[in-house]
Amino acid sequence: MKKILYSIVSLITFGSFAQENLVPNPSFEQVDGKIKEGGKIELAYPWVSATIKPVDLYSANAKADEFSVPENAYGEEKAQDGSNYVGINFYGYRGRSPKSYLQTELNGELVAGKTYCVKFFVSFSDRSKYASNNIGAHLSTEAINSSDEGDLNFKPQIMKLRNTPVIKQFDWTPICGNYTATGGEKYITIGNFFSEENTTTERVKQSREFTGAQKMDGYYFLDNVSVIDMEGQPASTCVCEKIAGGSLETEFKSFSTSEKDKASNKGDIIILNSDGTKGINQGNESRLDENSSFSLLDQEINFEANSKEATAEQVATLDLIVDYLKKNPNQKIKAIGQANKSETSAENLAKGRAFGIKKYCDTKGLTERVVLDFKLHDDNNPNNRKVTFEFVD
């Protein structure tokens, strides 16, 4: 009955799109049951774990706070699409934490010779110590699985073109690629299909906003999986990294998961060689020149009412602050989150605004350079919805 019901939902959903997403329940929104503990991916039918190391399911409606959205045991992240996502471990330091693998059967078999765009989004968790590379997807004609917690040794057809560790925490990183089918593929499996020795990691220091021991793994949130026939689609549909013969790669910088914000907020443009190495930087590697009259005390990051997300324009200001700190390595600053008392959960909102600034700076290698404070205002002046800055002696 569950499978029949989901098929009906899928048909209704896909019927409104020009190209069908062959991945069922792509954002894990259809959940059959209550999430009370970890490893409950089977509640998001027809998704399963491909090994006995279970994949975790997170939801805004979870009964257990540890598996809620946006705040949970591994940190804080909004869903990329909808209100649910999953958690996968791509790396375990010296085998302490086994990898996990996510799998589902597609809504139809891939057709030989046709090209499909395979895409999914990941976000590195706040509590993990090791950012990992080798995040990939494997398409197969049969389900692949293992009765133990070992690695699945298959060749992923979809990976980042520059296979570097994904360290972005405050937003989602798309991973995608074109795949020309051999015919009959009807399963997709996502995970790290390489050994620990052949996996590159980058150690990331845990923010002071999170207490407790840092987890010795490479755990990521994952959302919005798609496999779409590229026939009639523009090539840009399946471009997550533009790396080929000196083409451009643009990194999106935003606190928001909004596609509108991302489209209007493009960061440095970098020329890359065909092997993925960096060529000539066409952007401003440092936005502050030696003669800049930049004044930290004059900077403000402004917000919409009841929001902790900086706009695209504000992130450009934040990048100037990052550049200032890098040019002044001994200087610490205080980020003062501010809110009107009339805003929802005003104190938490003010603290969250400041924390978002610190978290962004942490990702730029500026850990322990930003301290936090907050201030509440009695009036309802929209100019109070901001983060301001002071020097710390």
- pLDDT tens for 304-321 read 889 888 766 677 788 889
Q: Chain-wide mean pLDDT for the chain?
A: 83
Token readout for 223 is 């959302």
- Portions of the chain given CATH number 3.30.1330.60: 296-392
pLDDT for the residue numbered 100? 97
pLDDT higher than 60, residue 283: no
In sequence order, the 6+-apart residues with CB closer than 8 A to the CB of 218 are: 89, 90, 91, 92, 124, 128, 130, 131, 132, 192, 201
pLDDT for the residue numbered 41? 98
Q: What is the CATH number of domain 2-237?
A: 2.60.120.260
DSSP string, 305-351: TT--PPPHHHHHHHHHHHHHHHHSTT-EEEEEEEEETTSTTHHHHHH
pLDDT for the residue numbered 312? 64
Measure Cα distances from 21 to 40, 100, 102, 119, 227 in Å: 24, 24, 17, 10, 5
Summarised one tens digit per residue, pLDDT across range 195-231 is 999 999 999 988 888 888 899 999 999 999 999 999 9
Q: Residue 85 belongs to what H/E stretch?
A: strand 84-92
pLDDT for the residue numbered 360? 86
Phi-psi group of 183: left, alpha or beta (phi > 0 → left; psi -120 to 50 → alpha; rest → beta): left
Least reliable range by pLDDT among 87-96, 98-107, 117-126: 87-96
Mean pLDDT of 68-72: 96
- Whether this prediction's pTM lies above 0.85 is answered by no
Does 235 or 261 have the greater pLDDT score?
Answer: 235
Q: Residue 5 belongs to what H/E stretch?
A: helix 2-14
Q: Report residue 242's pLDDT band, with 50, 70 and 90 as the boundaries.
A: low
- Portions of the chain given CATH number 2.60.120.260: 2-237
Exposed e or buried b for every residue in 117-148, given b needs 16+ CB within 10 A? bbbbbbbbbbbbbbbbbbbbbbbeeeebeeee
- Rounding to the nearest 10 degrees, give the CA dihedral for residues 276, 281, 284, 290: 130
Least reliable range by pLDDT among 9-18, 79-88, 301-310, 345-354: 9-18
CATH topology of domain 296-392: 60s Ribosomal Protein L30; Chain: A; (3.30.1330)
Measure Cα distances from 227 to 100, 103, 120, 200 in Å: 21, 13, 9, 27
